[in-house]
Structure 1
Amino acid sequence: MVRHDITLTSPTGKLVLTCPSDQDDNERIALLRTHPETLRYLPILPKTMTVEDVIKRRESRLDDPKTLDWNVDIVDADGKRTLVAMTTIFAIDEEYSSGETGILVAPDAHRSGLGTEVLYTVLKYGFETMKLHRIQFQTGADNVGMRGWLDRVAGAYYEGARRDGWKGIDGKFADVAVYSILEDEWREKTKRLLLERLKVEDES
């Protein structure tokens, strides 16, 4: 059984990324993954999800050596933790030192800057600990918000569109925008841009 025990803390210290486990709030995860705002730009996700579906998905992904998943909790002043996002590095290819990342943020945490902090934390781990050379993002071509973040905030490179690259649950196809960041771009540009956005100093 492949399991990881990698815990990451965001640069502000308010977010903790942990491996999914049987202690998860499965009902909240199901609600997050099926919320209309989540599905708006992810037609490939099912519109309904049971607790059993959450458990099955978690176990199958934890058994995949090419996938690292994290739940993201926000920690309040009393130490109480609340799940606010999920993130991942998947499609890990050791031969080509590459992987793909993505994020789901709870709708009530949208436009809070939380996504930037999560993705900074994951990208830092991917490039500086895993020593990946390339990390890819894929998002719906119509997802103006995520594409704006990739273009303007992260300075990611737009590689182009995969026409009809996703087939939705309803059978309809959708175009996919593909972006990437290389290790030298992370080191020379993206890391600095994200730290400036977060208004924190480089902790490395």
Structure 2
Amino acid sequence: MLDINFSPFPNLETKRLSLRQVKANDADAILSLRSNDEVMKYIPRPYLKTKEDALQLIAMFDDKIESGIGINWGIYFLEEPEKLLGIIGYYRMKPEHYRAEVGYMLFPEYNGKGIVSEALQRVVEYGFKDMKLHSIEAVLDPENKGSEKVLIKNGFVKEAHLIENEYYEGRFLDSMIYSLLNK
């Protein structure tokens, strides 16, 4: 079984991006991200309503990092280190299976610029090399064609299409699972 430790916090960089820990001073941006209709369209989670909600979410991120059960990075341009573009992270860890679920969200104005792909490549590299994962999965709404395209572009393959496997706000939703193996 994997023994995962995120201390010290692993700040990551790419050619254009800085991936670092989300802090309390990012609360307004997190609130804006998690209350944006376009961002949340395919994510069956409650919208954030207040800055306090955002601070509680950031505290939950911190708790997961400290306990080694999850990690989230804020996505920032290297040249604009205070402007949050989105978040990416490992949300559901399965250390006994050497597997984790990756997820991400991005402000709509940054879609189509290769940002998620660039961040995903670095987070996948960290997952395989540093966390010693064997596989990484992504769970998405079948209607989320943009996310599906990013995953395919980055070598993920479709494992499953689950029919009405999740109940949210009075209706049953389908999910697709894509995965990538550490070769």
> Where on the TM-score scale, by shorter chain, does this alignment land: which range?
0.7 to 0.9
Partner of 1:167: 167
Deviation digits for residues 137-180 of structure 1 (CA, Å, limit 9, x no counterpart): 001011112112223x1231211112123333x22221011011
Deviation at 1:45, TM superposition (A): 2.1
> Percent of counterpart pairs with the same letter?
25
Please tell me whether residue 18 in structure 1 is matched to residue 17 in structure 2: no
State the TM-score, normalized to the length of structure 2.
0.88
The aligned runs of 1:64-143 (5 Å cut-off) are 64=64, 65-76=68-79, 80-143=81-144
The one-letter code matched in structure 1 to 2:177 is V
Distance 1:104 1:59, change over 3 A: same
| Higher gyration radius (CA) | 1
- Helix, strand or coil: the match of 2:18? strand
1:115-154 alpha-carbon deviations (Å, 9 max, x no partner): 1101011001001111100100001011112112223x12
Can you give the 5+ residue segments of structure 1 that lack an aligned partner in the other structure? Answer: 185-204
Q: 1:8 maps to what in 2? A: 12
| Structure 2 residue aligned with 1:182 | 181
**Native 8 Å contact 1:4 1:19 kept in 2:** no
* Cα distance in 2 between the residues matched to 1:3 and 1:130: 12
SS state of the match for residue 34, structure 1?
A: coil
* Aligned-residue offset at 1:48: 4.0
Q: Is the 8 A contact 2:48 2:54 kept in 1?
A: no
Aligned partners of 1:61 and 1:177: how far apart in 2?
Answer: 25
The 4+ residue runs of structure 1 with deviation greater than 6 A are none
TM-score by length of 1: 0.79
The alpha-carbon distance between structure 1 residues 115 and 149, as it changes in their structure 2 partners (threshold 3 A), is same
1:30 Cα deviation from its structure 2 partner: 0.8
Separation of aligned partners in 1, 2:47 and 2:131:
34
CA contact (8 A) 2:18 2:81 kept: no
Could you say which residue in structure 2 is the equivalent of 1:52? 52
For residues 99 and 69 of structure 2, the distance between their equivalents in structure 1, rounded to whole angstroms, comes to: 10
1:58: how far off? 1.7
Q: How many residues align?
A: 175
CA apart distance, 1:3: 6.2
CA RMSD in angstroms comes to 1.7
Return the alpha-carbon distance in structure 1 between the equivalents of residues 7 and 130 of structure 2.
Answer: 18
Q: Is the contact made by 1:99 and 1:135 (CA closer than 8 Å) also made in structure 2?
A: yes
Task: Indicate conservation of the 8 Å contact 2:121/2:154, yes or no.
Answer: no
